[in-house]
Amino acid sequence: MNGLATSILGGIDDVGRGFVSSVYMQLGYALGNVYALMLTVYIIWWGYSILSGRETISPIESVYRLGRAVVIYLLLNGWGTFSETIYRLVQAVPSEIGKIIVGAVSRATGNQLSDQDAIPALIDNLYRGAQDVANQVYSGTFYDIFGALLSTIVLLAAIIFSALAIAAIIAAKIMLFITLALAPVWIVLWLFRWSSRMSEGFISLTTYLIIQQILIY
């Protein structure tokens, strides 16, 4: 398993980014005309509300509404804009906090890990440590049955723990990837006040998944 966790989780990140990029761009393209229609209705309703006296013209409110419409357009029609802002932030937060956690653990154990692969490297180090313990317990002779049994138990425990840790991290990442891939839907819904609550739900869900990933670390 030496280096396996690093390879698996690194591959998941690459596949996940490709998946999010593909689905995001397809949804963004499909929702382009929908957003144009929604924006037209939005402007007409806003103008009607002002003319009918339901709302007053406020420079701050006007800048906010126009700015929101522009931001939605930029995010909806540009994967690059989304990937360099929201996607990078969402991926960086659990990674950076995970580095801090792993750094504290690794300093306590004497194995300094602080690079971007600190989490999978810690799992790999755990298995290597179990191998070292197993080698020390088992003398390598035919008659050392107890040592062989104990070393086997140690290795199996390390394999099971590592597999569960990798599976939990992969599950958390996949749920986060799916949520981010559907972001164009939540971005479009941010335009109207009544539908922005759904967008806030997207933010809450994303935050929850980030926290979940941090807790797994």
Which pLDDT tens digit goes with each residue over 141-170? Answer: 555 566 667 777 877 877 788 788 888 888
Asked whether 141 and 55 are in contact (CB, 8 A), the reply is no
Q: At 177, is the pLDDT very low, low, confident or very high (cuts 50, 70, 90)?
A: very high
* pLDDT score at 54: 72
Residue 64 in this model has a pLDDT that exceeds 90 = no
How far apart are alpha carbons 173 and 14 in whole angstroms? 11
Once rounded to an integer, what is the mean pLDDT over residues 63-70? 84
Q: At 109, is the pLDDT very low, low, confident or very high (cuts 50, 70, 90)?
A: low
* pLDDT score at 175: 92
- Domain span including residue 80: 4-216
Residue 112 in this model has a pLDDT that exceeds 60 = no
How far apart are alpha carbons 111 and 88 in whole angstroms? 28
* pLDDT score at 9: 78
Geometric angle at alpha carbon 64, from 62 and 67, rounded to 5°: 105
* pLDDT score at 19: 92
Asked whether 202 and 183 are in contact (CB, 8 A), the reply is yes
How far apart are alpha carbons 88 and 105 in whole angstroms? 26
Q: At 106, is the pLDDT very low, low, confident or very high (cuts 50, 70, 90)?
A: low
Residue 209 in this model has a pLDDT that exceeds 70 = yes
* pLDDT score at 178: 93
For the CA atoms of 23, 71, 190, 193, the dihedral, rounded to the nearest 10 degrees, stands at -170
pLDDT higher at 115 or 171:
171
User: What's the pTM?
Assistant: 0.77
Once rounded to an integer, what is the mean pLDDT over residues 101-118? 61
Domain tally, the chain = 1
How far apart are alpha carbons 81 and 25 in whole angstroms? 11
Two structure tokens written together for 117: 């692969």
Most confident option among 13-17, 102-106, 109-113, 161-165: 13-17
Mean pLDDT over each residue of the chain, to the nearest integer: 79
Asked whether 102 and 94 are in contact (CB, 8 A), the reply is no
